[in-house]
Amino acid sequence: MTVMNHRFTLAARPVGLPKATDFKFGEEPVPEPADGELLVKLEYISLDPAMRGWMNDTKSYIPPIGIGELMRAIAIGKVVASKHPGFAVGESVAGLFGVQEYAVTDGKGVMKVPPVAPLPVFLSALGMPGLTAYFGLLDIGKPQPGETVVVSGAAGAVGSIVGQIAKLKGCRVVGIAGGADKCKYLVDELGFDAAIDYKATDVTAALREHCPKGIDVYFDNVGGEILDAALARLALHARVVICGAISQYNNLVVKGPSNYLSLLVNRATMTGMVVTDYTPRFTAAIMEMAGWMGAGKLRSREDIVRGIETFPTTLLKLFSGENHGKLLLAV
């Protein structure tokens, strides 16, 4: 019996929100690894806002996914066959394996996952989202004790780690998220000083209330109106970290921040970041964060949906904000 590999390819470039017809679910025989290659059986696939950008045919930090090509995704799995001297059958590995059940790889860019935490955590707090939070906040935001840090998408995979690290650094932390449940989680379970429910509250007024001395570091995952509200409340010499803009990824015309001249008034800085620039420092960062997790100071939360075939609809949870924690597919 031939074992089949089920996989999603990109069938069409989405206009606005991705539709089921923008993807094609197909199958092919599981490939044999050639010399120097290994075969990975995927266990968890990471669903990330960045995937939406990869589907557009525009210049970005990596090339777009071609029509007919495998849908790009970070995933984690076990080596089930290996003709590569560096990887043994049974090891857990993470890499850009795509939305499929089996991946063949030459091992480039593939990381071994140490057995110090459950696998899903390596796609969450100890994976790209956690690393994005770590380097974006610490290297670009440069929070100082006593400063006020505001993060949007605060209950998400990146935002929840940003807020927790900012608390570890002695900052006042205010999260912006959608819904009372998420806000309660941020304050009661993650120790945020305050949370603003953007679906129920005027964000501008709430930022005035919760940031009486202004915002020193604003970590933005969402763009749009919320970015503008934060810009209006910057403190002198504030640092704005541009990590993402999930509210804008499905728009044909991005809403630029009308309040950008607040950068001038406040001598503030807005800086973009891409986590892969920090690759040489990944291991050290993961070790530091794993230490925080072991000491109970950093929590990771995953929202795991079963079944690779649910990919097109599960992905949409990111844009509706339905996910609670890092969104993963269990294969």
- Residues at the contact surface with a copy of itself, assessed by CB under 8 A: 59-61, 223, 228, 242-245, 248, 253-274, 277
Smallest separation (angstroms) from a copy of itself to the CB of 140:
9
Smallest separation (angstroms) from a copy of itself to the CB of 97:
24
Closest listed residue to residue 9, CA positions, set 313, 21, 60, 46: 21
Smallest separation (angstroms) from a copy of itself to the CB of 71:
21
Q: Nearer Cβ to a copy of itself, position 121 or 275?
A: 275
Give 217's Cβ-side CA count (13 Å radius): 32
List C-alpha distances in Å: 66 to 44, 74, 100, 285, 312: 23, 17, 16, 33, 17
CB 78 within 8 A of CB 106: no
Q: Nearer Cβ to a copy of itself, position 258 or 313?
A: 258
Smallest separation (angstroms) from a copy of itself to the CB of 78:
34
Smallest separation (angstroms) from a copy of itself to the CB of 327:
21
Q: Nearer Cβ to a copy of itself, position 63 or 291?
A: 63
Q: Which residues have a Cβ under 8 Å from the Cβ of 3 and sit 6 or more positions away?
A: 29, 30, 102
Smallest separation (angstroms) from a copy of itself to the CB of 282:
17
For residues 211, 217, 218, 220, the Cα torsion angle rounded to the nearest 10 degrees is: -150
List C-alpha distances in Å: 227 to 82, 144, 242, 255: 47, 22, 10, 10
Amino acid at 161: I
Provide the pairing of β-strand 172-177 with 148-152. Answer: parallel
Smallest separation (angstroms) from a copy of itself to the CB of 264:
3
Q: Nearer Cβ to a copy of itself, position 43 or 220?
A: 220
3-state helix, strand, coil in the chain (%, to 5): 30, 25, 40
List C-alpha distances in Å: 161 to 32, 175, 186: 39, 11, 11
Q: Nearer Cβ to a copy of itself, position 140 or 155?
A: 140
Q: Nearer Cβ to a copy of itself, position 201 or 259?
A: 259
Tell me 100's DSSP state.
B
**Residue 210: what are its φ and ψ, rounded to 5°?**
-90, -15
Smallest separation (angstroms) from a copy of itself to the CB of 296:
33
Q: Angle at which helices 224-231 and 203-210 pack, to 10 degrees?
A: 40
Smallest separation (angstroms) from a copy of itself to the CB of 294:
32
Q: How far apart are the first and last CA of the chain?
A: 21
Q: Nearer Cβ to a copy of itself, position 14 or 107?
A: 14
Q: Nearer Cβ to a copy of itself, position 183 or 270?
A: 270
Q: Nearer Cβ to a copy of itself, position 109 or 272?
A: 272
